[in-house]
């Protein structure tokens, strides 16, 4: 079956969240040597609960903010500073847009996720943009995938979901009847600290899942899949 539409995850797929997080954190720390291993464990690639992470950072860095909301705002604002336009990403999406409907399905707050899309300057390429906070559903819930595609008039078997998370992206989209493609690393690489490089290294793909090293390889994958499809007569 041919692919007519592509839904993308945001963090770790279109947006190099690890690069942004660790770059901001090193900016915050300056010359101070933090317990990077503990921070990495608490952050869990952005999936860990925010309260213990922010409590640790506030104590280690002497933040003046006392409330969780104020600390979370500091984190989000810092990460958003590293959501910057990338001509290579713009060119890729422009090419894909010529042949496919494009959409985004992302977990997170409206402020954070739409802020990343605005910073990257890629909002124009996607319709719809589904943010979990706005719709009251989160991946891996089936409902969020249904919301993303209800205006497309495309059956789920003709949709490709591209994401990095084995469960929330790949497993959930496959359960919704979509074709899936797992990206095994972010579109940019973390420089320092060393533990961040290890965390952001290429991951193992989920079982029985098509995968590519990163987003930049999606066109080759699509071309290869098309060439393997039976010719129409």
What the chain holds in terms of domains, given with CATH numbers, is 5-16+84-228 (3.40.50.1000), 18-80 (no CATH)
pLDDT in the model for residue 123: 98
pLDDT in the model for residue 205: 75
Task: Encode pLDDT of 47-90 as tens digits.
Answer: 899 999 999 999 999 999 999 999 999 999 999 999 999 999 99
pLDDT in the model for residue 232: 42
> DSSP letter at 120?
H
pLDDT at 215 > cutoff 90: yes
Q: How many residues does the chain have?
A: 233
Cα separations in angstroms, 119 against 72, 112, 141: 19, 10, 27
Single out the residue of 120, 138, 175, 121 nearest to residue 47, CA to CA.
Answer: 138
- For the entire predicted model, the pTM comes to 0.92
pLDDT at 230 > cutoff 70: no
Q: Tell the residue number behind the tokens 């990343």, with chain if given.
A: 116
Task: Encode pLDDT of 135-174 as tens digits.
Answer: 999 999 999 999 999 999 999 999 999 999 999 999 999 9
Burial-class residue 111 by CB neighbours within 10 Å (0-12, 13-18, 19+). Answer: middle
pLDDT in the model for residue 102: 98
Single out the residue of 230, 228, 226 nearest to residue 218, CA to CA.
Answer: 226
Task: Encode pLDDT of 25-39 as tens digits.
Answer: 999 999 898 999 999
pLDDT in the model for residue 208: 80
């Amino acid at each position: 079956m041919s692919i007519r539409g592509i839904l993308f995850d945001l963090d770790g797929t279109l947006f190099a969240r690890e690069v942004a997080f660790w770059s901001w954190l090193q900016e915050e720390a300056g010359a101070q040597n933090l317990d990077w291993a503990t921070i990495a464990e608490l952050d869990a690639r952005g999936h860990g609960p925010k309260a213990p992470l922010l409590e640790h950072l506030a104590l280690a860095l002497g933040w003046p903010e006392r409330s969780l909301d104020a600390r979370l705002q500091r984190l989000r604002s810092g990460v958003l500073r590293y959501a910057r336009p990338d001509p290579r990403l713009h060119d890729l999406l422009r090419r894909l847009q010529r042949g496919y409907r494009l959409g985004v399905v992302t977990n997170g707050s409206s402020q954070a996720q739409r802020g990343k899309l605005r910073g990257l300057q890629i909002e124009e390429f996607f319709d719809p943009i589904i943010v979990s906070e706005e719709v009251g559903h989160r991946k891996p819930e089936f409902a969020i995938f249904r919301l993303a595609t209800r205006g497309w008039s495309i059956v789920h078997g003709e949709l490709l979901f591209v994401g990095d998370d084995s469960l929330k992206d790949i497993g959930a989209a496959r359960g919704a009847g979509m074709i899936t493609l797992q990206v095994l690393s972010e579109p940019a690489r973390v420089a320092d600290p060393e533990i961040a490089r290890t965390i952001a290294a290429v991951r193992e793909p989920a079982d029985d899942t098509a995968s590519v090293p990163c987003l930049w390889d999606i066109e080759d994958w699509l071309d290869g899949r098309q060439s393997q499809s039976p010719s129409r007569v």
